[in-house]
Amino acid sequence: MLNLPQILDIPQAWIPMIDDINKYRYFLLHSGRNSCKSHSVARFILWLGEQKKLRIMCGREVQKSIEDSVHALFRDLIDEFNLDYSVGKATIEHNKTGSTIRFVGLREQGVVSVKSMENISIAWIEEAQAISKQSLDTLIPTIRNPQAKVFFTMNRYLKKYPVYTQMRNRDDCLVMSANYNEIEPRYISGNVIKEAEQCKHRDERDYNHIWLGEPLDDADNLLFATSEIESAPGFEWYYNEANYGHRIMGVDFARYGGDKCVACVLEQKGPEEWDEIYTESWEKKDAVFSQGKVLDIRRRLKPVITVGDADGLGGPIIDNLIENGVDIEEFHGGTTFKADSPDKLRYANLKTKASYRIKDMLQMKRLRITHKYILEEMETIRFEYNAAGVKRIVPKEKMIEKYKVKSPDHFDALMMAVSRIDDVQKTYEKQTHQLPRYATDDQHDGNYGGTYSELPQHAGGW
């Protein structure tokens, strides 16, 4: 064991990269969340830059600004240990050795930029799980310095990431793995441990994946388990329905050739219980026709809240309805959360949060769904993780292209209605409604969507 300076006081799990720096060219550090791997690599690189003149490149797949890089991590460590580096807006330079640190986005700056750095001494690829095969195939042959060292740090969310697949079996690559619970306690804050334990309590499978770094199989990213879908039509409640009866309508307006326009209405049956009582679809994408449909359903079912997809075709339809005095709210599924929102670390956008709300309600038996097309589409809804490990519902276009399913328009209408449940005041005034369970929609062809059986279990959201 080496006698290390203070800046190299890092967890024992990552010490081999220091001990064996001369034995390997590549170093792959992968783990779950909060395992100190980025801090450890940053400390080591700063120390190396103090020993002799090095050209250091820190890259990631996408870097829209310097704030997206590890620049701030280096700056904080330089301040903490009073290191002799000058920190610029885009570069960092050691005042004595002349070592330089540059930050690049492999995708934005492209092949030419990467090739211009072929004499680099050290490359550090942060968030390597996001590196595409094309970027990796460009980077590796470009680093021609025979003494160069390349570090990859990543959270391994899936089994087949290009970096992991290409590097794990190379005899010149040292592969290291450690999770937060394998790191000495003095390196891990109490808040991190608390967050991990709360995640474990909520959903052990999520805990194993996010905190212990267990990768998902491709088929494991289905949002709803078969048991959740099968049980959805059978929930029964015994509240006095006369005390409730509030309704919410979600409308998904078609954007593409194969899409349908869909309206879905929920009715409150208890303090937290909701019933999908009415779903209707139409293929005609004419704006005037769709506007008439929305007005007709509102007149008949009298929802207290109507919300519609404001992206694509829905935008001008909603604008026109509002101009004519119709109380309808806009829904933008891609809306992200503010930095101080607790949802920021849970869901990538509003659509994802609302979709997981459906899952949570099904698990708590608070949402009854009976429409066959919604249930069929639920079998196809998938989630993925972004580079920060935050969940995102796979976008509709990607689902259609990659997984060969039809557009989940019925589900999206339900999802939008669910997104507004918290906006309904739970009053206890008597409301009586008489309406059929479903409209007869003669535009359905009866063959919409496919059915998948024996889907793998996936436990609930955060």
Tens of pLDDT, residues 178-217: 999 999 999 998 889 999 999 888 888 778 888 888 776 5
Q: What is the pLDDT of residue 399?
A: 85
Q: pLDDT for 19-63, tens place per residue?
A: 999 999 999 999 988 899 999 999 999 999 999 999 999 988 777
Q: pLDDT for 325-380, tens place per residue?
A: 889 999 999 999 998 898 998 999 999 999 999 999 999 999 999 999 999 899 88
CATH of domain 218-423: 3.30.420.240
Beta strand 91-94 with 100-105 is antiparallel
Q: Architecture of 6-188 per CATH?
A: 3-Layer(aba) Sandwich (3.40)
Which region holds residue 381: left if phi is over 0, alpha if psi is between -120 and 50, else beta?
Answer: beta
> Which sequence spans correspond to the domains of the chain?
6-188, 218-423
Q: pLDDT for 140-185, tens place per residue?
A: 888 888 999 999 999 876 666 789 888 988 999 999 999 999 999 9
The CA–CA distances, whole Å, from 54 to 28, 84, 409 equal 20, 15, 54
Given pLDDT bands bounded at 50, 70 and 90, which one contains residue 448? Answer: very low
Given pLDDT bands bounded at 50, 70 and 90, which one contains residue 388? Answer: confident
CA distance 143 to 105: 16
Let me know if the fold of 6-188 is the same as that of 218-423: no
Given pLDDT bands bounded at 50, 70 and 90, which one contains residue 1? Answer: very low
Q: pLDDT for 241-295, tens place per residue?
A: 778 999 999 999 987 656 789 999 999 999 999 999 999 999 887 888 999 999 9
Q: What is the pLDDT of residue 462?
A: 25
CA distance 175 to 13: 11
The CA–CA distances, whole Å, from 324 to 274, 293, 316, 328, 342 equal 30, 15, 12, 11, 37
The b/e string for 8-45 (b: 16+ C-beta within 10 A; e otherwise) is: bebbebbbbbbeeeeebebbbbbbbbbbbbbbbbbbbb
Given pLDDT bands bounded at 50, 70 and 90, which one contains residue 438? Answer: very low
